[in-house]
Amino acid sequence: MNVQFTDKIECIFKHTLALIKENGFHGTPMSMIAKSSDVAIGTIYHYFPSKENLILELFTYCKKKINSYIFDAIDPELPYQKQFAMVLERFCKFQVDNTDIFSFLEQFHNSPFNELAHDKQKVGGCDENNVINFLLKGMETNSLRKIDVHVMASAFIGSAVTFSKSVLYGKVPLDRRHLEELVEIIWNGVKQ
């Protein structure tokens, strides 16, 4: 991939995330994104034919970033319980360290764009869900209870999101003891 192309896209994504965090989807027009990114409006439309397209591509970009951060560091040879702890901890740390992405994903999931992403999936879009796949692996290896994977993912992700918000709002520190307590609570609820 062209480095200049990648750098421009990264710049546009970075500025779009910051603007959406501050102004929301509707308060962030393409012209504002162009100005903040220091690129011509025509350049943005060259890469993204519409704001809808930009938002959907940004969603894919964010999912890849979080999945890469969480799963690229996990050694598949480790015992599943250890992997489980690492995935949950890295999920929380990513959210605390990447508030623009965290804010974007929350807004996205509570907007009509979420439905558009699901529709795109149905017509051949790729939506790899590494958390679901990770939990299914735990069920297949008899490490996790065999329940509806989406219910388990809700408990897993919901707990991580709530914990991360508690850290961001200053209610608890992001330290080893609190992460271990969170992992223990979730693990005890889902282990086989």
Of 108-112, 152-156, 167-171, the one with minimum mean pLDDT is: 108-112
Percent of the chain with pLDDT over 90: 85
- Give per-residue pLDDT as tens, 39-88: 999 999 999 999 999 999 999 999 999 999 999 999 999 999 999 999 99
Instruction: Report the CATH superfamily, name and number, of domain 55-190.
Output: Tetracycline Repressor, domain 2 (1.10.357.10)
Written in H, E and C, the secondary structure of the chain is: CCHHHHHHHHHHHHHHHHHHHHHCCCCCCHHHHHHHHCCCHHHHHHHCCCHHHHHHHHHHHHHHHHHHHHHCCCCCCCCHHHHHHHHHHHHHHHHHHCHHHHHHHHHHHCCHHHHHHHHHHHCCCCCCCHHHHHHHHHHHCCCECCCCHHHHHHHHHHHHHHHHHHHHCCCCCCCHHHHHHHHHHHHHHHEC
Instruction: Please write the tens of the pLDDT for every residue from 122-167.
Output: 444 444 579 999 999 999 999 999 999 999 999 999 999 999 999 9
Where does the chain hold its CATH 1.10.10.60 domain(s)? 1-49
Superfamily per CATH, domain 1-49: Homeodomain-like (1.10.10.60)
The predicted structure's pLDDT at residue 120: 64
